[in-house]
A = this chain, B = another copy of it.
């Protein structure tokens, strides 16, 4: 991990560049598979499961027996942890329900918004090196609070055709309706187009690798909503000399261990502190089971020494990190000035891993600087707002001249007529 001292602002863009590749070729490969799934449905899905997940599946859906068996095989300690996590996530996401007022915008014109659940949602939980049961919680809990009618989940099975019991347990506890043993591009295609055994959904949510992301983006061209395009995970830590270099090093590594394309950035004003963190990081790295992954991720990572607090805020908002930990004495002041970030962790005792599992906030967050325009998954992600308006006779009569003159100037005579005919009728009553 490199230390960069006082880089010129002109260099910032290059320094915080994400390790991304051109995805034009990727889109082509992914589109071909999506087309195949659209045409051949379940048959194609099973072939891709054999090809990519190395598993021969008879049935794609997880059976009731499998679910019951899974529950029995979860150690008590893990079961309790999952339920604690669930309770906190539920508490935070339930509080996101809002009551919207009816507004009388003019005399006789009342307007309001109504939040309605998206009826059918598809959740994707990646497979890979570890069973991400926490992601099940992060997606299914807000879906249920939003009252989505049909919640399905796709996740790749292992080569024996099984899903990790902790994932099945989390899905059961959060009342996911149906679970399918499908991963990658084929999972996204299945939920987007529907097949004989998998229902079509209106929105697909959840993290995934570059193939999953490309598939989500491509199906979004055909009317399926998605939560956000996900990229490699990333963290930024802002720290001063009041921070504990052991904590900061652990926080940077907790990101680096995610994948070889993860990125960890430390911003500080203190060169001394930067060096302490680097030393600690080297120590901690040695004992990590995922050392090889973390080591590669650290090649994309940087410790940047800046000249003043203003620079720290500017660079942070320019980078727009998925995760931001502020480990300084004045963390509250700094937090006030953050405008681009996915989730922010405040103070010396709020590690990012708390947000992944227990604090209650969502860990499905915008990466790749998308925090400039996207929120992380939250209750809104599972709902939409319909507007309503009700106008009285008096209201339409009073507003008629405004509508008529505007419609006329936009050369929309029939728009004008719809008002004029009503006005004339009222006048004749």
| Min C-beta distance of A235 to chain B, whole Å | 10
Partner-contacting stretch, out of A45-53, A80-88, A155-163, A299-307? A80-88
Q: Would you call B389 and A343 a contact (CB within 8 A)? A: yes
Q: Would you call A166 and B289 a contact (CB within 8 A)? A: no
CA distance A405 to B409 in the complex (A): 66
Q: Residues of B contacting A339 with CB < 8 Å?
A: 116-117, 119, 386
CA distance A373 to B130 in the complex (A): 31
Q: Residues of B contacting A356 with CB < 8 Å?
A: 403, 406-407, 415
Say yes or no for A217: interface residue by CB 8 A criterion: yes
Give the number of chain A interface residues (Cβ < 8 Å): 130
Q: Would you call A105 and B360 a contact (CB within 8 A)? A: yes
Q: Which of A219-239 contact B (CB under 8 A)?
A: 220-221, 223-225, 229
Q: Would you call A393 and B349 a contact (CB within 8 A)? A: yes
**Chain copies in complex:** 2
Known: A78-B406, A384-B373, A405-B77. A353 touches B389 (CB 8 A): no
CA distance A111 to B89 in the complex (A): 10
Interface string of A78-110 (1 = CB under 8 A from B): 101110110010011001101011010110010
CA distance A308 to B37 in the complex (A): 38
Grouping DSSP codes into helix (H, G, I), strand (E, B) and loop, the A interface class, with mixed when no group exceeds half, is mixed
CA distance A100 to B94 in the complex (A): 12
CA distance A68 to B348 in the complex (A): 55
Q: Would you call A347 and B418 a contact (CB within 8 A)? A: no
Q: Which of B353, B385, B401 contacts A418 (CB 8 A)?
A: B353
With both beta carbons as reference points, the residue of chain B lying nearest to A359 in the complex is identified as B389
Partner-contacting stretch, out of A59-67, A245-253, A271-279? A245-253
Q: Which of B82, B166, B220, B412 contacts A130 (CB 8 A)?
A: B412
